[in-house]
Chains A and B, each alone.
Chain A
Amino acid sequence: MFKINRIIYLLFAMSMLCSCNSFLEEDTISEVPADKMWQTARDAKAGVNEIYGLFRQTMRENYFYWGEFRSDNVAPGAPVMADQARVINNLMSTDERCAKWTNLYAMINQANLCIKYVPQIDMPDVSDRNDYLGQAYAMRALGYFYALRVWGDVPLFTEPIEKEEQDLYRPRTDAQYILENVIVPDLKQAEKLINRNKNYERKRISIIGVWAILADVYMWMGNYSDADQTIEKMKSIDYKGAKFMQLAPNIQSWRSMLTEELNRKPSDNTPDNDEYTTKELIFLIHFDMDEVGANGYSYMYQWFSGSGNRAAVLSDKFMDIFNQEDMQGDLRKDLVSKDYQNGYELRKFMAGDISNSLNKTCEIAYPIYRYSDMILLQAEAKARLGKWDEALELVKQIRDRAGLQTPLSTEFSSEDEIVEFILRERQVELVGEGRRWFDLLRTGKWKTVMGPINGLKNDGNEVFPIHFSHIIENPKIKQNTYYGE
């Protein structure tokens, strides 16, 4: 009997001795350990791609909250959409969802990771590597550009956070400093790095995308000549023997660009192939239901249609533009709006009739930059630079397409007047594209425009509140004074 025991215990003793060493080492199975990441071209691609995924997550709601809802384009849609109504009516408090920067900074951190690690990856084609890096720089710039337009001064992180020991608690950095020392240099870097001969993406950042952001930034900084020149450069890029940037030639193709080209574009993972027939789109946020899932759909339909839960309708003030003398017969009017259930709905991105053919699973991409946006920016820049005729020539391209006459420069008596004219054109052309509020901010017209509408006229009210949780998490962050101490 004891022999059996002896064998059993020897076996136990032995198994205990040899197994414990490695027993407690469990490697991640469904995650990549940090030291195994950033090794190959695939890693670079996945890492950079995630920036766009996070950008989509950031902008899904905020595209409208940040750029559209505070402007005179919209009025509250349905009473159930109270959060949107609070922004539209300038009733924001510090618990507003759109006051959170969580996703935006996740995207910035991802860009920082790419900027740190992509250069270290050994890739067969250096120009591919540079292209990825360039996209990361451009997206970081775009991230900060949104941040400072929304909140003013924001905390600055230009290196990725990977360890707890890093400096995590930072006060807000002056917005002007970020513009000059991060955003502009980043975009200049991107301009150098992006592959101009291969990257013809419109769902991602191409060289045109870099220039679009840069031009927008220059305009924001009041640097009109650089803005003008930057936009001018876009015209130099060719693709398969034609210009890569072209305006949609007529109102029908304009319409199909917004309702078809933006809608359900199949995923295409080849940067050297431009899958769009329209040449007007510069950079857009791609939506695909298979990718975003049942709760990540684009809000282009749901927030703007149906009386039940539409977030916003076009304001009477906006609709009134079409009654102005030089706007009569605007072909865009019936394409962007429809009077439906006590409100003018934004129908710009909807092909069919909402009540029976559409549903909430919407795959309409969000255009971030469009060529007509750039043309009008350039017009504004030229107007500011005193080149009124050139400016109106640019505006004319847009108005011709809309079936409108363009006045001559002699009909304007001041720079302000012509800029106001261009801005109104931008408002109509770009309605629903998250641009109007930033235009009002950029040109300082927000007080006079919004004051009579919702009382948005006091200094400090132009920025958003910072979500209270951000301040609790980092006591170095101070609230924007309009919303708290």
Chain B
Amino acid sequence: MKKQLRPRLLVMMIPLTLLFVFVVQSAYGADPTKKLLTLSFNKTPLATALKTVEKESGCKVLFTYDEVQTYHVTATVKKEPLTHAMTAILKGLPFQYKLNGKFVVVSKQAQAAQTVQKAAVNKVFGVIVDEEGEPLIGVTVRIKGTGKGTITNFDGEFTLEDDNRKTPLLFSYIGKEDIEKLPVYGQSMKLVMKDSQVGKKLDEVIVVGYGTMKKRDVTGSISSISSKEIENKMATNVYEALQGSTAGVQVVSGSGQPGESSTIKVRGTSTFSSEGVSPLYIVDGAPMESIDDINPSDIVSVEVLKDAASAAIYGSRSANGVIIVTTRGGQEGKPEINVKYYHSWGKLSHKVPQANRADRLFYDQARRNYFLTYGGGNPDQSMDILQDPYNYFFNVDNDYLDMITQVGNKDEVDVSIGGGSKALKYFVNTAYYNERGIIDNTGYQRFSTRVNADYSPSKWLSMGSRMSLSYSKKEGVNEGQLLSSVLSRRPYFNTTYSDGSIVGVFNGQKNPLALINYTTDFTNSYKANFYQYFNFKFNKHLSFRTNINANFYLDKRKKLIPSLITDEWQKSNNGYSYNYLNWNWMNENYFTYTRNWGAHHFTGMAGMSVQKWYYENENIAGMNASTDYIYTLNAFAANLDLSATGSVETRHSLASFYTRITYDYLRRYLLTLNVRRDGSSRFAKNNKWGNFPSASFGWRFSDEPFLKGARKVMTDGKLRVSYGVTGNQSIGNYEYVYSYTPSNIYDGVGGVRPARIGSSDLKWEETRQFDLGLDLNFFNNRLVVTADYYYKYTDGLLANYQLPKETGFSYIRKNIGEISNRGFELSISGDIIRKKDLTWNASFNISGNSNTVEKLAEGKAYMEGDIWWMQEGGHIGDFYGFKCLGVFPYDESNAFTSDWKQLTPVFENGVFQYKYLLNGQEYTGEVHKKRLPNGQAFRGGNYNWEEPKGTENGIIDDNDRMVIGNAMPDVTGGFNTNVKWKNFNLYLGFYYSIGGKIYNAAENNRNMFKYDGTTPSPYTIYNMWLKPGDNAIYPRPFNDEYNNGRMGNSFYLEDASFIRLSNVRLSYDFPQTIAKKLFMKRLNVYFFANNVLTWTNYSGFDPEFSTSNPLQIGKDSYRYPRKREFGVGFNANF
């Protein structure tokens, strides 16, 4: 194997080696005027000689051809600098030279020039450069007030015949400030054109992989969010900053639990595995495993690379998009101190109705009557309560949601200092964040600090460090257990015994208050990121950068379930300690070469990187400690749970080579090419390497001469097309390996079994993406429109393919199939009012995505989780289950025609008349009943399940499941608006998700009538079927073999659409005079509210929740409810 790999690597090394040789040579000639020249001329025409000098030295030699035409040179120069060579060449000739930067201007000596004065005085010539000294091509030079003029050539030079000495020349160029200057005759004019402030927005620099680009030159689809937007949203993490602010980026927060992470989906789901669904996070150039603990106030900008062309530079990890976070660096100048503080109060935003005491007693009595009539369960199961309702223990009416929730609090303090000199800049930020959740004993604390420093010791070297450290503590509850006990525990069960002691487990159910107050479960996370770069600048064109990066993540979870809440006998407790260390290092090295040849602008980048990850898990579990007081595992040493105790280590490495070329002509035709080659240890020998090329093309049509007239309206217009391949390798570290793992311990011996079936064919998941985009800017940023259409096709989807369980394995990691995603994105932003005292701007974005499962392994449809269906031609998020047509009122209502139209039985005074009606007419044909496979007919009070069209046979079994809805929203997006009036600023942020369904599994669970202890919702209790003739909404209150309570029932499918006013922020800037009196530069106070209003038809806590598995979306089990939050705060600058 190693032999196979070597030649391939060598081939890849060749371009790099060549580049290396090139670097050394270029370094040699960094300053052209210092270069030693060896020249020899023998009666050579002067013009030829000067051209030779130009060629050898690399300087631009300016002369007038007519003047030198008749002169010849004989001279020899040996390893002399330029000045000596020029002197030698011009010796004895009537010429003089002047060195001006890299220009050598050769002109006739004064007396000699007299004769041609007439011609020379009228000639204005010169060169025009930008701020970096690069010649500007195509600059319009006009004599003011006349139509007379010219444009600069490929070297930025112009020559103009002009005899009107008093009229200034007007120089103009797109994106640059105009210059007006009186002409200078006879000598070269050198003009520097500065970037225009008006065009600034277009010239914003945005971060792309391994470099930056001017926004106007970007040919891919990239969204960018600034620190101002983040501040307005009162974001506590990057996810909140992104939510609703960018088209095509769907951010769904997990739940209301403090410190809960979110999921980000860029342009739909293009992968099947939960590990690989999140985008790649790059923070200041370094890939990160998580961005949860990044303090939003450290952030300058967040860029989302959406299309393949932008993302492909990150190759194998970019299929789900790339999110680049750039943190603040210091600014040159005096130290600036910034202090921020806010406090907020939160309250449960939406309550779910719960049965009260009376409801539950009604339910108990109804069930008792039901069992007495129909059997099935034990009629006496709640008798003791019904007969003794004033017993201390049953004589309460609990509203558990009220009891477990409280007012949550949030504080954040942030102190930063930034400043520096030209050579050294620094930024230090320290922040403390503390959130106490709306459920007691839940919370999240974060202490983070960041030090960013940049240092340029010399012209050719700059270096910098990014260092961030954070500590966080997340205290949580088991959401599922808590909320299921909240929603289902009988409302009349007391939470304390008569002696005042708290109830733990009673009647098999846990007391939610005991769960909250007695569980210990917290995770301490320690994170450290170190990043160091060195940038070597060899000359104006070529630089080399090397980055070294190391990330450390350590999570330590401690858990103690005390004996009080483990079981009714309170004999046992459980302790758990989990340590997870993940650290990785990376080194990347790349050259960047920038050069302009005339109107041809070229940038090349090439490099390589290596990265390695180390993961280490340590679990210790124990039970039956002698005390409930100690949560650490020393208390459990006597009774360790050996099956859950142990450590596991895995590793993963990635090697990459990448290159990018950007080229444009006249800044009008733009081209970017990327290629990345990634090798990953996660694939079998023959599949380790993957290639990820991409190309994008941009056309700035607004610069075309034929649209010149439209420029007043359309400031800028660009069309983008891109196509590329991105990859995904987010799977376990050894998925292709067939190996054995320690497993069950039996009778003192550890067993060993196969960990998995190996799949040596396992290969990269590849997403090919086409993107067509349009950027329009009208009236100087008054209205900015960006629209994109994309088509993504992913093949080799990495997923867990469910194997027949009789093989002894559950699943195999496999390239399972192919999926396509297509969608559009549109964002519109603009300034509606632009006045001195009043500005109002607004932005709106919308995106839609639809996906199709194109191919599945063996063409075989399969069930994902317990409720989703994956089939070719289907869609991710398709719910699979039984379609509910309502509840039969009578046994006789289960009557259908031969083509399964339901008949209406005729009753008179409650007695069936053996007659059926069909559409009001008496029906006399054959009557069919729906039955269980065993022949039993469905009765009154059973759900009437619909059979899929064409397969109706009256037998309701597993074959009668069908796709009953889809979880994916049709469109998502946001709407943000900001009004500034004098010193007041008001920001409103909305986001929305329209379409899609939620399977309300929490509601399904509580209304199953399966467990006696479970309390259904009040609406259910009063709408269940109890006797023949009931036109009920819910079925019989007992789940028998007819399985009315089954999971996967279209009845529990609800519309997931919502619009949310998520952020409101009103701030006031104190006038400078007042701020000054307080020794401040600036003081800003604000009021804010989050999660203010939600418009939705969804009946659960919240239509927004996320799941880690991208295929198992939209199933609402019990999640921590969200809060509505109000707060106040200030920002002060010193």
Contact between B957 and A290, CB atoms less than 8 A apart: no
Q: Which residues of A contact B863 (CB under 8 A)?
A: 469, 472
Contact between A472 and B808, CB atoms less than 8 A apart: no
Q: Is A94 an interface residue (CB 8 A)?
A: yes
Q: Is B751 an interface residue (CB 8 A)?
A: yes
Q: Which residues of A contact B6 (CB under 8 A)?
A: 21
Please tell me which stretch of A61-69, A98-106, A331-339 contacts chain B, meaning at least 4 of its Cβ atoms lie within 8 angstroms of it.
A98-106
Contact code string B351-383 (vs A, CB < 8 Å = 1, else 0):
000000000000000000000000011101100
Contact between B745 and A53, CB atoms less than 8 A apart: yes
- Which of B639, B741, B743 sits near A53, CB closer than 8 Å? B743
Contact between B746 and A52, CB atoms less than 8 A apart: yes
Q: Is A168 an interface residue (CB 8 A)?
A: yes
Contact between B1041 and A31, CB atoms less than 8 A apart: no
Q: Which of A127-179 contact B (CB under 8 A)?
A: 154-155, 157, 160-164, 168-170
Q: Which residues of A contact B739 (CB under 8 A)?
A: 28, 31-34, 37
Q: Is A242 an interface residue (CB 8 A)?
A: no
Per the bound structure, the CA–CA distance linking A80 and B644 in Å amounts to 28
Per the bound structure, the CA–CA distance linking A110 and B755 in Å amounts to 11
The minimal Cβ–Cβ distance linking B385 to chain A, given in whole angstroms, is 13
Contact between A46 and B741, CB atoms less than 8 A apart: no
Contact between B1041 and A82, CB atoms less than 8 A apart: no
Q: Which of B12-27 contact A (CB under 8 A)?
A: 13, 16-17, 20, 23-24, 27
Q: Is B873 an interface residue (CB 8 A)?
A: no
Per the bound structure, the CA–CA distance linking A93 and B960 in Å amounts to 14
Contact between A157 and B753, CB atoms less than 8 A apart: no
Per the bound structure, the CA–CA distance linking A30 and B616 in Å amounts to 10
Q: Which of B564-592 contact A (CB under 8 A)?
A: 566-569, 571-572, 574, 589
- Which of B639, B738, B749 sits near A289, CB closer than 8 Å? B639
Q: Is A203 an interface residue (CB 8 A)?
A: yes
- Which of A24, A268, A473 sits near B680, CB closer than 8 Å? A24
Contact between A269 and B641, CB atoms less than 8 A apart: no
The minimal Cβ–Cβ distance linking A143 to chain B, given in whole angstroms, is 11
Contact-size category for B: 35 or more
The minimal Cβ–Cβ distance linking A158 to chain B, given in whole angstroms, is 12
Q: Which residue of B lies closest to A483 (CB)?
A: B933
Q: Which residues of B contact A24 (CB under 8 A)?
A: 653-655, 679-681, 688
Contact between A94 and B804, CB atoms less than 8 A apart: no
Contact between A93 and B744, CB atoms less than 8 A apart: no
Q: Which residues of B contact A162 (CB under 8 A)?
A: 738, 754, 757
Per the bound structure, the CA–CA distance linking A107 and B751 in Å amounts to 12
Task: Given A13-B16, A21-B5, answer yes or no on A46-B681 (Cβ-Cβ < 8 Å).
Answer: no
Task: Given A21-B6, A473-B804, answer yes or no on A308-B680 (Cβ-Cβ < 8 Å).
Answer: no
Q: Is B814 an interface residue (CB 8 A)?
A: yes
Contact between A290 and B737, CB atoms less than 8 A apart: no
Contact-size category for A: 35 or more
Q: Is A209 an interface residue (CB 8 A)?
A: no
Task: Given A168-B807, A290-B639, answer yes or no on A32-B23 (Cβ-Cβ < 8 Å).
Answer: no
Q: Is A108 an interface residue (CB 8 A)?
A: yes
Contact between B24 and A470, CB atoms less than 8 A apart: no
Q: Is B759 an interface residue (CB 8 A)?
A: yes
Per the bound structure, the CA–CA distance linking A446 and B148 in Å amounts to 110
Contact between A45 and B749, CB atoms less than 8 A apart: yes
Q: Which residue of B lies closest to A203 (CB)?
A: B747
Q: Which residues of A contact B505 (CB under 8 A)?
A: 308
Please tell me which stretch of B66-74, B241-249, B1010-1018 contacts chain A, meaning at least 4 of its Cβ atoms lie within 8 angstroms of it.
B1010-1018
- Which of A37, A50, A105, A481 sits near B933, CB closer than 8 Å? A481
The minimal Cβ–Cβ distance linking A123 to chain B, given in whole angstroms, is 16
Task: Given A23-B610, A286-B747, answer yes or no on A105-B807 (Cβ-Cβ < 8 Å).
Answer: yes
Q: Which residues of A contact B114 (CB under 8 A)?
A: none
Per the bound structure, the CA–CA distance linking A130 and B500 in Å amounts to 64
Contact between A161 and B642, CB atoms less than 8 A apart: no
Per the bound structure, the CA–CA distance linking A56 and B743 in Å amounts to 12
Q: Which residue of B lies closest to A38 (CB)?
A: B740
Task: Given A21-B6, A293-B643, A294-B623, answer yes or no on A286-B13 (Cβ-Cβ < 8 Å).
Answer: no
- Which of B508, B733, B741 sits near A309, CB closer than 8 Å? B508
Q: Which residues of A contact B482 (CB under 8 A)?
A: none
Q: Which of A5-31 contact B (CB under 8 A)?
A: 5-6, 9, 12-13, 16-17, 19-26, 28-31
Contact between A56 and B744, CB atoms less than 8 A apart: yes
Contact between B608 and A16, CB atoms less than 8 A apart: yes
Per the bound structure, the CA–CA distance linking A91 and B6 in Å amounts to 65
Q: Which residue of A lies closest to B681 (CB)?
A: A26
Contact code string A295-314 (vs B, CB < 8 Å = 1, else 0):
01000000000111100000
Q: Which residues of B contact A109 (CB under 8 A)?
A: 754, 807-809
Contact code string A102-125 (vs B, CB < 8 Å = 1, else 0):
100111111011000000000000
Q: Which residue of A lies closest to B608 (CB)?
A: A16
Per the bound structure, the CA–CA distance linking A26 and B16 in Å amounts to 26
Q: Which of B751-771 contact A (CB under 8 A)?
A: 751-755, 757-759, 761
Contact code string A185-227 (vs B, CB < 8 Å = 1, else 0):
0000000000000000001100000000000000000000000
Q: Which of A425-477 contact B (CB under 8 A)?
A: 458, 460-461, 468-475, 477
Q: Which residues of B contact A31 (CB under 8 A)?
A: 734, 737, 739-741, 755
Task: Given A37-B740, A163-B757, A269-B749, answer yes or no on A16-B16 (Cβ-Cβ < 8 Å).
Answer: yes
Q: Which residues of B contact A164 (CB under 8 A)?
A: 757, 759, 761, 812, 814
Contact between A80 and B1013, CB atoms less than 8 A apart: yes
Q: Is A95 an interface residue (CB 8 A)?
A: yes
- Which of B574, B589, B741 sits near A12, CB closer than 8 Å? B589
Contact code string B16-50 (vs A, CB < 8 Å = 1, else 0):
11001001100110000000000000000000000
Q: Is B925 an interface residue (CB 8 A)?
A: no
Contact between A92 and B639, CB atoms less than 8 A apart: no
Contact between A50 and B1046, CB atoms less than 8 A apart: no
Contact between A155 and B751, CB atoms less than 8 A apart: no
Per the bound structure, the CA–CA distance linking A269 and B751 in Å amounts to 13
Task: Given A28-B734, A46-B752, A56-B746, answer yes or no on A361-B571 (Cβ-Cβ < 8 Å).
Answer: yes
Contact between B957 and A479, CB atoms less than 8 A apart: yes
Q: Is B101 an interface residue (CB 8 A)?
A: no
Contact between A289 and B934, CB atoms less than 8 A apart: no
Q: Which residue of B lies closest to A75 (CB)?
A: B378
Q: Is B597 an interface residue (CB 8 A)?
A: no
Q: Is A320 an interface residue (CB 8 A)?
A: no
Q: Which residue of B lies closest to A285 (CB)?
A: B746
Task: Given A56-B744, A361-B571, answer yes or no on A289-B1041 (Cβ-Cβ < 8 Å).
Answer: no
Contact between B642 and A290, CB atoms less than 8 A apart: yes
Contact between B805 and A100, CB atoms less than 8 A apart: yes
Q: Which residues of A contact B680 (CB under 8 A)?
A: 24
Q: Which of B495-511 contact A (CB under 8 A)?
A: 505-509
Q: Is B600 an interface residue (CB 8 A)?
A: no
Q: Is A79 an interface residue (CB 8 A)?
A: yes
Contact between A474 and B806, CB atoms less than 8 A apart: yes
The minimal Cβ–Cβ distance linking B610 to chain A, given in whole angstroms, is 6
The minimal Cβ–Cβ distance linking B336 to chain A, given in whole angstroms, is 35
The minimal Cβ–Cβ distance linking A392 to chain B, given in whole angstroms, is 38
Per the bound structure, the CA–CA distance linking A355 and B570 in Å amounts to 11
- Known A21-B2, A308-B508; further 19 A-B contacts with Cβ < 8 A: A9-B20, A12-B589, A16-B13, A20-B9, A26-B734, A29-B650, A30-B649, A32-B741, A37-B740, A89-B376, A89-B1040, A107-B808, A162-B754, A168-B807, A169-B804, A286-B746, A293-B623, A359-B572, A473-B803
In the assembled complex, 14 residue pairs joining A and B whose CB atoms fall closer than 8 Å, in A order, are A16-B608, A20-B5, A28-B734, A47-B752, A79-B1012, A106-B753, A161-B808, A163-B758, A288-B747, A292-B643, A294-B574, A358-B571, A472-B863, A484-B957
Closest 4 A-B residue pairs measured CB to CB? A53-B744, A109-B808, A50-B751, A359-B571
A residues with CB within 8 A of B: 1-2, 5-6, 9, 12-13, 16-17, 19-26, 28-34, 37, 43, 45-47, 49-54, 56-57, 76, 78-80, 82, 86, 89-95, 100-102, 105-110, 112-113, 154-155, 157, 160-164, 168-170, 203-204, 267-269, 286, 288-294, 296, 306-309, 342, 355-356, 358-361, 458, 460-461, 468-475, 477, 479, 481-485
